[in-house]
Amino acid sequence: VHMTTNSTLQMAEFDKEAAKNASTFAHDGFGNATLKRLFKKIVNIGFAATNDSEQLKAISNLEADLTGIYSKGKVCLESKGCLQLEPGLTDIITNSRSYEELLAVWKGWRDASGKLMRTKYTDFVKAMNAAIKFSGFNDTGEYWRSWYETPTFEQDVRTLFEELEPLYVELHAYVRKRLKEKYGKDMFPETGHIPAHLFGNMWAQQWSNIYDLLVPFPGASSVDITAKMKEQNYNVTHMYRVAEDFFMSIGMEKMTDAFWQNSMLVKPTDRDVVCHASAWDFYDENDFRIKQCTSVTEDQLLTVHHEMGHIVYYQNYKHLPRLFRRGANPGFHEGMADIVSLSFQTPEHMKVIGLLDEVPQDSDSDINFLLKMALDKVAFLPFGYLIDQWRWSVFRGDTNSSNYNQHWWDLRCRFQGISSPVKRTEEDFDPGAKYHIPGNTPYIRYFVSFVVQFQWHEALCREAGNTRPLHRCDIYNNTNAGNKLREMLRMGSSKPWQDAMEAITGQRTMSAKPLVNYFDPLLKWLKEQNKEENTGWSASCPSSIPTPSALAAGSANLFISITCFVLCVFFAFFQIR
């Protein structure tokens, strides 16, 4: 913490000195648009503008405290001992199909993480809001939104979400129906919500881990990619080489020697670390790293491609001045990290790399594939949208420590159609159970990325001359597509994001249409499946929470046992007398 605080203060002093020097120039009158943009970034120094070094110390120390709580959180289970989030709790939430075990893990993680952060998070928000006012922003949320350089950004993302919501509603209805078949309809509130612990993911943000419960056509061709990887003796290094091969096949640079020497690709055995995967640019044009507790699974192979996508972006803009070495906007970096997954996950690509024996051509297999993709790409949309709706409200002061948790669940019930499986109060702080809250990472970037990656995929497939449906396009080995992508990547943030978008798609706006088009065959199928369903849910959270039947039965059996015991003792007593 001490080293982090010192580094923060030193960086702040550097930024402040640079801003002071840049302010001596009348840069608003510069004729060179790129130079004018660079000077604007130099003088906009965010939190560093504060004249109170104690505020910066507080921000740095509190963030370290919050992430420390997250990284050290453990849940002790009677049958499995004490487990951290990775890999122990994640393995259970991913693979267990026991309602009660999932509930214990879900609640246990929130008790061990978010619940311990509440007071510190309140102080954290106050410190950030106080510091950011010196840069001319009303609150931290306004500062974060300024990175998108769009005055209507808040309304723009709301419009995108509303365009995508009908697809999510149909997916939600189908998943709810199948989960009711698994766990019993009595476990689901009458409001139409789904209990949050049943999705195979600690935060119910993506649902592909429960694909086995949802697969539309079990008899259609399918393959267990994880089993195939293990059958072929995949190890962690090979997973990264497979990802590197994809990017090199479209003309991108290979990973540097420094990448292989300095990255943390497996979890250390000698210390606690935050296992949340991340990519790092050390700004020397050579030292790029990934930090990930990698294991040999299909899901982790996708994460490897995601993080390496960030590295490829770093490599492409490494020639630019430091302040331009960023994505065109924060969502672009995440979109770049994900775009390759739209090619990588196709059956065509899986066959090319030897993880699939034959490419299925029947419509049943196609629906299976699209549903699995939707469980990641569509299921995520409301979660990606709502996290910063909550956080912006906190930064504005509309939500405070008296209603942190209530507003969190109001948003999750309203937008995701999920509800808490147990009673929550203001003693809890469930937002803190998600890394990006204590880690202070803005989240709307992920929602943006899930929209723009489909725009880019459509454009790159067009550039590659693809003739297959969009969801079966693979740009592997196509340097035409790679060149088009590189044109955007090399711009970094030296131009407004609209210019970068135009370079790859020919458009200057974000659009939900390519995502909707990608899943159109699935949407038609879902509507047919949901004909007898009441799609949608109440905007408000359920007023009562169903009790697991096993627990209820257990309570009833306990009551009967105690009653029998008392009666037996009673009669025995009188018999002895």
Residues near 46 by Cβ (< 8 Å), separated by ≥ 6?
132, 135, 143
Q: Is 158 annotated for ligand binding?
A: no
Judge whether 440 and 58 are in contact, CB under 8 Å.
Answer: no
**Does 307 qualify as catalytic in the annotation?**
yes
Active-site annotation holder among 27, 163, 436, 533 = 436
For residue 93, CA distances in Å to 109, 222, 237, 301, 321 come to: 11, 23, 26, 19, 44
Dmax over CA atoms of the chain, in Å, equals 108
Which structure tokens are listed for 45?
Answer: 């120094």
Nearest to 167 by CA among 537, 451, 527: 527
Q: Is the peptide bond before 87 cis (omega within 30 degrees of 0)?
A: yes
Nearest to 310 by CA among 285, 335, 273: 335
DSSP annotation of 494 reads: S
Q: Is 310 annotated for ligand binding?
A: yes
Q: Is 276 annotated for ligand binding?
A: no
Judge whether 110 and 425 are in contact, CB under 8 Å.
Answer: no
Burial status of residue 162 (CB atoms within 10 A of its CB: 0-12, 13-18, 19 or more): exposed
Give CA–CA dist 529/315, Å, rounded. 46
Which structure tokens are listed for 199?
Answer: 């999705």
Strands 194-195 and 278-281: unpaired
Strands 288-291 and 278-281: antiparallel
Judge whether 444 and 385 are in contact, CB under 8 Å.
Answer: yes
Nearest to 416 by CA among 182, 208, 207: 207
At residue 119's C-alpha, the angle toward residues 117 and 124, to 5°, is 85
| Residue with the two structure tokens 């619940």 | 115
Residue type, 559: F
Judge whether 457 and 436 are in contact, CB under 8 Å.
Answer: no
Rg (C-alpha) for the chain, rounded Å, is 26
Active-site annotation holder among 298, 307, 407, 471 = 307
User: Residues at the annotated binding site for chloride?
Assistant: 148, 445
Catalytic center residues: 307, 436
User: Residues at the annotated binding site?
Assistant: 148, 306, 310, 334, 445
